[in-house]
Amino acid sequence: MSDATGRAEPDRLAGKQAVVTGSSRGIGQAIAIQLAAAGADVLIHGGSNRRAAEETAHRIQRMGRRSGVVVQDLADAGRHDAFVTRAWQWAGDTVHIWVNNAGADVLTGAAAQLSFEEKLERLWRVDGCATIGLGRRVGHRMRDANRVGDGVILNMGWDRAEVGLGGDSGEMFAAVKGAIMAFTKSLAKSLAPAVRVNCLAPGWIRTAWATTAPAYWQRRACRESLRDRWGLPEDVARAACFLVAPQADYITGQILAINGGFRDADIAPSQS
């Protein structure tokens, strides 16, 4: 939760243990910091960059919260059980909040040169299978703790998955993120009433790709938002903090778009 200035209200999540996958940078990092600002202890996960993960953990520790680091490639499904076990050991009792944010970057760096099939495979293993596999494992542990309403899982979808976006990237992201959104609704029913499960569906968010995106995409990102701007990782983080807080106890099985209000790209931005 946040106050009128957008800052997290301290102690809103006091006593909660949280895990955020893919939290060494970008949206995941913003979520981890927001949860810590609201009072939660947060375990940081990175896919390969230990230094970035440790820097994020140190930021949280300087806020007076407990943190730790796990570096693991979630594309390896055979290691998911070990990851969940390590998370519970770190928590000491139980993990109250689990955010499945980790995603494969196939738009920048060397991965941008992969074939469509190779990118899709990577996305499916990291964004899709890891979210599903970890969500089920974590959800069952939370449910077995027999603390009704004390466990919350938050997944990461995409606002265009339901309406589509032309091009290779649109096709692969819509397929994978659409699966996560559908899975969220089913998992919420499987784990009810003990565990709440929701999904965030960000729109155009200024992450690593956005900083070097061509002028066309810079204009389009603003044009497709009723707010006439790019979204920020902090916009997603504030929504995440609300959905995992006790104040959102009656919200489960939902998909929340974080896109500034979507409008078709061919509609000119407001001049007022």
Instruction: Give pLDDT tens digits for 202-221.
Output: 988 887 677 777 788 778 87
The pLDDT, as a whole number, for residue 146 is 64
Average pLDDT over residues 28-43: 98
Predicted confidence band of residue 147 (pLDDT cuts 50, 70, 90): low
Decide: residue 193, CB within 10 A, 0-12 exposed, 13-18 middle, 19+ buried: exposed
Of 3-7, 73-77, 108-112, 241-245, where does mean pLDDT reach its minimum?
3-7
Predicted confidence band of residue 267 (pLDDT cuts 50, 70, 90): very low
Predicted confidence band of residue 149 (pLDDT cuts 50, 70, 90): low
Determine the Cα–Cα distance for residues 129 and 226; give it in Å rounded to an integer: 33
DSSP per-residue string spanning 53-93: HHHHHHHHHHTT--EEEEE--TT-GGGHHHHHHHHHHHHSS
Average pLDDT, the chain: 90
- Among positive and negative, which fits the CA dihedral 36, 39, 45, 49? positive
Determine the Cα–Cα distance for residues 27 and 5; give it in Å rounded to an integer: 20
The pLDDT, as a whole number, for residue 225 is 82
Closest CA to 156 of 91, 239, 78: 239
Determine the Cα–Cα distance for residues 8 and 16; give it in Å rounded to an integer: 15
Task: State the chain's maximal CA–CA distance in angstroms.
Answer: 55
Average pLDDT over residues 43-60: 95
Question: What pTM does this model have?
Answer: 0.90
The pLDDT, as a whole number, for residue 203 is 84
In this structure, which long-range contacts are made by residues 265-270, counting pairs with CB atoms below 8 Å and at least 24 apart in sequence?
Answer: 265/220, 265/223, 265/224, 267/223, 268/223, 269/222, 269/223, 269/228, 270/228
Q: Say if CB 124 and CB 176 are below 8 A apart.
A: yes
The pLDDT, as a whole number, for residue 237 is 97
| CATH of the structural domain 17-258, one choice from 3.10.580.10, 3.90.1150.10, 1.10.8.50, 3.40.50.720 | 3.40.50.720
Tens digit of each residue's pLDDT (9 = 90 or more) over 76-121: 999 999 999 999 999 998 899 999 999 998 887 888 899 999 999 9
Report helix angle 50-62 to 26-37, nearest 10: 20
The pLDDT, as a whole number, for residue 177 is 97
